[in-house]
Amino acid sequence: MIPARPEGLLTLSDSSGDPLYRQVYERFRGAIAEGTLKPGDRIPSVRALAKDIGVARGTIEVAYSLLAAEGYIQARGQAGTIVAPNLQPQAPAAPAAAPKPLARPQGEWTHHPTPLPFQMGLPALDAFPRKIWARLGARHLRSLQPPDLAYPESRGLLALRTATAAYLQVARGIQCAPSQVFITSGYNNTMQLVLQALFKPGDSVWVEDPGYPPTRAQLAQAGMQAVPVPVDGEGMVVEAGIAAEPRARAAVVTPAHQSPLCLSLSLPRRQALLDWAERSNAWIVEDDYDGEYRYVGRPLPALKSLDRQGRVLYAGTFSKVLFPGLRLAYLVVPQEQAARFERLCALLAGGAPALTQGILASFINEGHFGRHIQRMRRLYSDRRDATAAGLSAVLGARLRIEPQPGGMHLVARMEGRQADRALAARMVENGLYAHALSRWSEAPDAQSGLLMSFTNIVSAEQAEQLARRILQLM
Ligand SMILES: Cc1ncc(COP(=O)(O)O)c(C=O)c1O
């Protein structure tokens, strides 16, 4: 029998960087693994192969001894050298399963490096007290000590958790200890912790309809079922949730200013939701992203302030009251769940930068936070009125701006089923910004409207000029 020669064995390369014995060894190993050389096949003698490929016999001897030591080949004396009879050729690797497609909100959610007029989710970027922040930042940098350079606690700096707990008590009526507060890098991060800690794939969760699309995307990504529950003038219709999915494990709600309609969850509905959660051992996630910004009367206390049975997880953020580039938010969990979340944070949370957390704790403790919120409440009330007036002056016949008690954007209703989608897309293409209300809903008869932030519109004149650009796109 002619001894087998793996294809390509004769083409060793001086320039590959690998010694020649190694190249011979790799070729044989590869040929065996691919099945080109099969168990029991004879391979050339040392002398013949050395002659064939023009290398010293010692080179082939070293390669063969390595292959023999690793069990690939066996020397059989007079019978020559063969591929080990008991070797299994490696099955070709099964193609890796395609990763699950990523769930993400559709529509106008692209990131814009420079904010566009009416861009949603932004506070007044021109009104943030940058000088105060810079002064505090410089102070923190100057006073850095070696221990400050070590790993911070993954659940957040004690100073910031303490300052947050104190603020929540005064401003939102929430009684909690710093051990119940977890600092995160934003709402998405908060939701990831909550979903990992308390739920499993397949669980159903009520979400508001219309409602914040990233919440639905988060649930889909976690393999959970978002059950749309309609919203009326009093907020989420709890009875409709019970009728649609009584065994839901949780409800995610925005009680202060329903996102996106900006109305508040009424007291009877708050009570009904808490009763359902208690009866069904379900959880309520309260997304209180901008509860501070109410322009008629005082801000309403958080739903969490009524939670006697420890069913509410409270998600707050510093993105709206300060600025989203900060990437700091927080989660308040019931006391009985604190240890579980602490372990989960140690496992999953990257931890927020200690320096930024320290600056923020000082900003709160020294009174700048409270003063900033007061100023912003007045400023937003003015900017909202100015924006509504400017838009109505030009577009009044086509858009109906709803009066609303709070929030950071306007809801401008328009006629025509899903007519909002094309207009919002045209606005974004033309350097303006709006979200199509109908995209925030699963309902087939979802109403059309534009969601437009007013926080960075400084006057009615500016709003009018922008409205004229919108008119041209209609
Ligand atoms: C409904 C809602 N929840 C939460 C957030 C907060 O997100 P983050 O903390 O990631 O900035 C926003 C921001 O726009 C929001 O609109």
Task: Give how many domains the chain has, as a whole number.
Answer: 3
Q: Is the pLDDT of residue 2 over 60?
A: no
pLDDT band at 107 (very low <50, low <70, confident <90, very high): low
Average the pLDDT over 325-329 and give the result.
97
Give the pLDDT mean for 87-92: 67
pLDDT of residue 310: 96
| Residue 110 belongs to a domain | no
Highest mean pLDDT among 14-23, 73-82, 292-301, 362-371: 362-371
Is 60 exceeded by the pLDDT of residue 362?
A: yes
Whole-number Å distance between alpha carbons of 435 and 423: 9
Q: How far is CA 308 from CA 174, 241, 271, 273, 274, in A?
A: 11, 22, 11, 13, 9
Buried b (16+ CB within 10 A) or exposed e, 249-259: bbbbbbbbbbb
Give the confidence band of 3 by pLDDT, cuts at 50, 70, 90: low
Residue 239, token pair as written in the block: 């009875």
**Could you tell me whether strands 400-401 and 409-413 are parallel, antiparallel, or unpaired per DSSP bridges?**
antiparallel
Do the beta carbons of residue 473 and residue 426 sit within 8 Å? yes
Any idea what the CATH number is for the domain that residue 469 is in? 3.90.1150.10
Same domain, 349 and 248: yes
Nearest CA to ligand 1 atom 14: 121
Query: Do 150 and 48 belong together in one domain?
Result: no
Sign of CA dihedral 120, 123, 124, 125: negative
Residue 94's pLDDT is what?
73
Tell whether the torsion through CA atoms of 38, 39, 40 and 46 is positive or negative.
positive
Same domain for 168 and 294, yes or no, is yes
**For residue 372, how far is its CA from the centre of ligand 1 (angstroms)?**
19
What is the Cβ-side half-sphere exposure of residue 312, based on CA atoms within 13 angstroms? 25
Per the structure, the complete domain to which residue 19 belongs is given by 1-95
Number of neighbouring beta carbons within 10 Å of residue 166: 14
| pLDDT at residue 352 tops 80 | yes
pLDDT tens digit sequence for 137-186: 999 999 999 999 999 999 999 999 999 999 999 999 999 999 999 999 99
Residue 16: its pLDDT value, please?
67
- Whole-number pLDDT of residue 403: 83
Least confident of 88-97, 122-131, 268-277: 88-97
- Domain assignment present for residue 316? The answer is yes
Residue 327 has pLDDT above 60, yes or no: yes
**Alpha-helical regions (H) of 55-182:** 57-69, 130-142, 158-172
Ligand 1 atom 5: the closest Cα is on which residue?
289
> How much of the chain is helix, strand and coil, in % rounded to 5?
45, 15, 45
- Mean pLDDT (whole number) for 404-417: 90
Pocket test for ligand 1, best of 188, 192, 212, 254 (most atoms within 8 A of CB): 212
The answer on 207 and 182 residing in a single domain is yes
The CB of 329 under 6 Å from ligand 1? The reply is: yes
Looking up residue 244, the CATH number of its domain turns out to be: 3.40.640.10
**Same-domain status, 315 and 409:** no
Q: Does residue 192 share a domain with residue 43?
A: no
Residue 317 Cβ contacting ligand 1 at under 6 Å: yes
Domain assignment of residue 125, yes or no: no
- The rounded mean pLDDT for the chain is 92
Beta strands 250-253 and 329-332, pairing class: unpaired
How far CA 410 is from CA of 115, 120, 350, 392, 454, in Å, comes to 17, 10, 35, 12, 7
Q: For ligand 1, atom 4, which residue shows the shortest CA distance?
A: 289
Residue at 102 is within a domain: no
Strand, coil or helix: 59: helix
Question: Vertex 267, ends 307 and 226: CA angle to 5°?
Answer: 70
When pLDDT is cut at 50, 70 and 90, the band that residue 108 belongs to is low
Q: Judge if 334 and 395 occupy the same domain.
A: no
- Does ligand 1 have an atom closer than 6 angstroms to the CB of 293? no
Distance from Cα 388 to the centre of ligand 1, integer Å? 23
User: Coil, strand, or helix at residue 276?
Assistant: helix
- Alpha-carbon separation of residue 40 from 63, 113, 361, 425 (angstroms): 19, 64, 73, 67
pLDDT digits (tens, 9 = 90+) for 90-106: 666 677 777 777 877 76
Lowest mean pLDDT among 246-250, 292-296, 380-384, 441-445: 292-296
Q: What mean pLDDT comes out for the span 191-203?
A: 97
Rounded distance, CA 15 to CA 32, Å?
24
Output the six-digit token pair for 357.
């957390």
